[in-house]
Amino acid sequence: MKPTPTWDTRPGSIASVGDSITRGYDACSVLSDCPEASWSTGLDVDSLAKRLLPNPQQHTWNYAETGALMADLPAQLQTATVKRPELVTVMIGANDACRDSVAEMTSVEDFRADFTASLTALRRALPKTQVYVASVPDLKRLWSEGRKDPVRRQVWKLGICPVMLRDPQSTHDRANERRDQVQQRVRDYNTVLRDVCGKLVLCRYDQAVHRYRFTGDELSKWDWFHPSKEGQQKLADLAYQEISRRETHA
């Protein structure tokens, strides 16, 4: 029998895939990406790349795309495999839930199929590449904290994650039911991420992002939804804790 590969806490290169969070959207200026502030590969924050790599400028690649859905992940990973990174970070799924209506959210079945296909193809192409999979943030918590702030409520009228943030002060049954359905879908997405990743060697799923309570300073002042530079820094902290965790063997 071949020995089980051991997780390397000091990978030599990093490719990031995912959505606007990993692109640093609204972290530096309004309505624009700021990859230099990305929690994974950015150089303007104490990112994973800066913590793990001696020369991050030459050994990091950010293939995340603002607005990306899970259906876009296979193509992103296919592009990333060309660089043969030693670590791939994955943070995706919020846009699958943040649609105009509950009916438009990505089904759990499609979400699972695309994620499974993505990781299967990656593992086939790069059997020794490590994968870090972050959980989908708690969207309902963002609503429950932000609904008390009139500035946030006004900004959210621009159409940010409407299925969760529309009519933020409404407590009618239909509004509460809509938010509960989104919350359950996010939980289901995270179950998929955990289960699929758990079946692969050298893949670590991290629930910490979903559990974390982001403060106002850690959210973009332009949309009160995406992480600010401080929020990106916290995401890097959470990811580093998991990626640098040494395996223990009985």
CA distances from 19 to 9, 90, 102 (A): 25, 9, 20
> Which three-class secondary structure state does DSSP give residue 81?
helix
CATH number of 14-243, picked from 3.60.21.10, 2.60.40.60, 2.60.40.10, 3.40.50.1110: 3.40.50.1110
Question: Angle at CA 233, nearest 5°, toward 193 and 130?
Answer: 40
- How many Å apart are CA 93 and CA 70, to the nearest integer? 6
β-pair partners for 219:
227
Sheet strands side by side (includes 130-134): 60-62, 14-18, 87-91, 130-134, 203-206
Q: How many other C-beta atoms are found inside a 10 Å radius of the C-beta of residue 232? A: 28
Element (H, E) at 78: helix 73-81
| Every domain of the chain and the residues it spans | 14-243
Q: How many other C-beta atoms are found inside a 10 Å radius of the C-beta of residue 40? A: 33
- How many Å apart are CA 98 and CA 23, to the nearest integer? 17
Contact in structure between 23 and 38 (CB atoms under 8 Å)? yes
- How many Å apart are CA 184 and CA 97, to the nearest integer? 10
pTM, 2 dp: 0.95
pLDDT per residue, tens digit, the chain (250 aa), is 567 789 999 999 999 999 999 999 999 999 999 999 999 999 999 999 999 999 999 999 999 999 999 999 999 999 999 999 999 999 999 999 999 999 999 999 999 999 999 999 999 999 999 999 999 999 999 999 899 899 999 999 999 999 999 999 998 999 999 999 999 999 999 999 999 999 999 999 999 999 999 988 999 999 999 999 999 999 999 999 999 998 754 4
- How many Å apart are CA 190 and CA 41, to the nearest integer? 23
What does the pLDDT read at residue 2? Answer: 64
